[in-house]
Structure 1
Amino acid sequence: MGADEDKSAIKRSYGQYCGLARALDVVGNRWSLLIVRELLGGPARYGKLQAGLPGISTNLLAERLRELEQSGVVQRQLDTDSNAIAYTLTDWGRELRGAVTELVNWSTPLMISGPRDDNFQPRWLVVALESLMEGKRTEVPATIGFEVDGTLLTVRVDEMGTRVALEVDGQPETVLRAEPMVVLGLASGMLTTEQAIASGEFRGERLDLTAVFGP
């Protein structure tokens, strides 16, 4: 093994007795939090993780998974459907949801410009919508579908809070088909319901949208 390989094998640390520094020692490497994002939706096999992380090399994904596993953030389990290995967050790893939520909310001004040339996968909206709509509740349950790039996300809001699902059986009656930046703008409060409807294709009950997002 050469000198450069020796250096790359050494786990880097900020060397600071500070909670933020030590947290970044664990999840501050490039791709680490995006792996967490993928696993917040549930266990995933290696191929699914790689498909959800366009641009990451096979070797780097394996390295990041190994680091997160060694740190106690990720663990392996048997996928009973395929009898293959899947990766999942540990209980401690799932506690990163709060940090991911705060970062998604903080990122709102950065999303105004739209995707431009960036990769985009509709299922990334699951974590984004859960984060941006955290705390939203309605006395009367409302179910809304957001159709983005041919993928349907179903958002149900009631007195228990907000739940987002991907490609569930059956379509909700209220559906807004729109670009991702429109859906994010509505969820973040930067677009009104009327502006979002005007920017996409809408069918169903406007009352469902206004009950959740206002007029």
Structure 2
Amino acid sequence: MCTTPTHPPLPALTVQADRLIELGVRAPGLEPAALLARATTLQDVAPPGSLLAVHPRVVAPSVLAGHMTRALTVRGQRVERSGFVVADMDDVDDFTPTLDAPVPDADLYAVVDPTRGEEMTNWSPEEALPVITGAGRTPLTLSEGIQWVLHAPEALKRNRCFMTIGSRLRRPDGTFDARTPALWISNGTGRDGSDRRGAPKVGWCWWRNRHTWLGFASAAARNR
């Protein structure tokens, strides 16, 4: 399994913390001073290129999604599109980490070596998961995927987007919903609306379906 990054590297964890502070990401225990101090500590144990992740219990994916941005040129002018969650995924915050994506019991942690997994485009989630775990890696959660794009918008590219199968929706009977969350770029059609064309988008795909433009994001480890 190839894990060579094909995207610009992430900034230092303290720079990512500054970005969260600048965006106004707030929660109990995540005051600016505490956030920056925690990022500084994590920077000593996580390798360069790691992602600073806020636990989804602290800040929900639905909240983080709106902080994603993507710049593009429209009619000769540079514009910035904000991220959003598709209209038919109002239960997005109920997609929680699975056993294959063990998230540390910490408000902030580091995700080591996130990659898009584009070598698995045109695979189904069902096919990709055992390959990811068999390589000693862990699938990214939806929250982690959103935060990756938040800090590195270039992680999303046309025809090179990704699923985050480390998050699933568990039904009352213990089985999983067949939907799997993913991040891609809106074409501005349908319910997305033309004013969202080019925006980073949180949506879903089916567990057994394949898509030629979606890889499977994964990481080498999570540090706390």
- TM score, norm. by length of structure 2: 0.27
Highest CA radius of gyration, 1 or 2?
Answer: 1
- TM score, norm. by length of structure 1: 0.28
User: Which structure has the highest strand share of the two?
Assistant: 2
User: Which structure has the highest helix share of the two?
Assistant: 1
Higher relative contact order structure (alpha carbons within 8 Å, sequence separation ≥ 6): 2
